[in-house]
Amino acid sequence: MVDKVIAKEAPSTLILVEHPPVITLGASFHPENLLHSPESLADRGIEVHPNDRGGDVTYHGPGQLIAYPIFDLEMVGKDLHVWLRNLEQAVMDTVESFDLKPRRFAPHTGVWIEDKKVCAIGIKVRRWVSMHGLALNVNPDLAAFDLIVPCGIQGYGVTSLSQELGSPVPISLAKERLLLGFAGVFQTEWETC
């Protein structure tokens, strides 16, 4: 899809998925942030995969909404800072729609509720088309984050929409609201997969 968007053979595309349990190691991965061996994690049913997105280590699994915006960044003037802040804003608008109070927490990229991260962001750009994206914790098993130092950030926790609200949030509802968040921030046309 990235190649098609680069070649202008497809419009910008937003892919929304849930992954099976997996830990990904980003371009800035530090081994000390993976608290268990890949073999030990495999015994728990969690795969470990290095990839080329930005950031350190993170967990993906059921109950987490993953968004891969394959967008032509001409829409933000080819400005990565603006791109990241817009991604954060789309998620913040989504979180606010659940009557929660999200925030940015500089210098860390992502979206937070108080001192807990609710959404991790890790991107890569090739020929001004974005790939990789964000992971919004809707209703995942938060204990899985104890297997890593999430995003390599010591001393802070991870939360989810369900944890903060005290009741389960369906992924389908989070998808609807994230699409509205993207529509509000990125006043442009894209395809959804």
For the structural domain made of 2-183, what CATH number should be given?
3.30.930.10
Distances from the Cα of 150 to the Cα of 60, 155, 191, angstroms: 11, 10, 31
Select which of 46, 76, 151, 158 is catalytic: 151
| Confidence band for 192, pLDDT divided at 50, 70 and 90 | confident
What pLDDT shows up at residue 26? Answer: 92
pLDDT tens sequence across 27-62: 999 999 999 999 999 999 999 999 989 889 999 999
The residue behind tokens 């830990």 is 23
Backbone dihedral angles phi then psi of residue 32, each to the nearest 5 degrees: -65, -15
The full set of domain ranges for the chain reads 2-183
| Confidence band for 84, pLDDT divided at 50, 70 and 90 | very high
What pLDDT shows up at residue 188? Answer: 74
| pTM for the predicted model, two decimal places | 0.95
Distances from the Cα of 32 to the Cα of 41, 42, 77, 149, angstroms: 15, 18, 37, 8
What pLDDT shows up at residue 190? Answer: 76
What pLDDT shows up at residue 54? Answer: 87
Greater model confidence, 189 or 83: 83
For residue 55, which of 149, 181, 161, 185 has the smallest C-alpha distance? 149
Is residue 119 flagged as an active site residue? no
Angle between helices 80-96 and 171-185 (to 10 degrees): 130
pLDDT tens sequence across 122-172: 999 999 999 999 999 999 999 999 999 989 898 999 999 999 999 999 999
> To the nearest whole number, what is the mean pLDDT of the chain?
95
